[in-house]
Amino acid sequence: MGRILNCPRCRKDGLLRTHPQSPREHLASFLFVSPFCCPSCHHRFLASHLWLDHSTHPIDRREHLRIPVRLFLSFSGGKIRGEGTVLDLSMGGCIIKSETQVHTNDIFYLRLSLDDTESPLEVAGMVHSVNARGIAFKFLRAAQENKRLLAFVQAQTLDQPVKSSGKVAVAA
């Protein structure tokens, strides 16, 4: 039976195990200590991963929790303009469905319509990948610090049903 790991800041479970980013986190990984991130309060911390049940929960390769949404989006960059539907959204980026032809590493200004009452959210993003599922945009640094985007993602996270299994939740 694996042990339960809770966030040291907000005490919630459902933590995401992430890849090491800093030299300190890489060094800690040699001592069976991994970085974890809380999807509720976004606190990042190190904890021992010994005796955690990883067999059913592989390591999360994502930096941010994805929220399934259906939002209208328009984008422009250089001579390319397009529109599409956002399929999922996170603080790090989004995946959209669009007929517009784009290429990896293209940079665009994105306009996301979060609701009908406010003006669209404008963020800069780079095309991370293009595949059958859609176009994956990675938000540039300034977008990740956008308070309106953070508030929207957190509100959507609260609306999602919480899976409380008593184990560390690590998405694939």
Please state whether beta strands 16-17 and 134-139 pair in parallel, antiparallel, or not at all (unpaired).
Answer: unpaired
137 and 73, same structural domain? yes
144 and 90, same structural domain? yes
- Can you tell me the distance from the alpha carbon of 89 to that of 79, in angstroms, rounded to the nearest whole number? 25
> How is the beta sheet containing 16-17 ordered, strand by strand?
16-17, 33-37, 44-48
Residue 42 φ/ψ, nearest 5 degrees: 65, 20
77 and 36, same structural domain? no
The answer to whether residue 1 sits within a structural domain is no
The answer to whether residue 154 sits within a structural domain is yes
Note down the domain range covering 41: 16-61
The answer to whether residue 53 sits within a structural domain is yes
110 and 48, same structural domain? no
45 and 76, same structural domain? no
What pLDDT, on a 0 to 100 scale, did the predictor assign at position 168?
40
Domain count, the chain: 2
153 and 71, same structural domain? yes
Residue 149: name the closest of 96, 66, 107, 91 by CA.
91
- In this predicted structure, the answer to whether residue 169 has a pLDDT above a threshold of 50 is no
pLDDT tens digits, one per residue of 8-24: 888 887 777 777 888 88
> pLDDT: is 13 or 31 the higher one?
31
Q: What type of residue sits at position 146? A: N
Model pTM?
A: 0.58
81 and 48, same structural domain? no
152 and 119, same structural domain? yes
The answer to whether residue 106 sits within a structural domain is yes
* CATH code of the domain in which 131 resides: 2.40.10.220
> pLDDT: is 81 or 164 the higher one?
81
The answer to whether residue 169 sits within a structural domain is no
27 and 92, same structural domain? no
The answer to whether residue 171 sits within a structural domain is no
145 and 120, same structural domain? yes
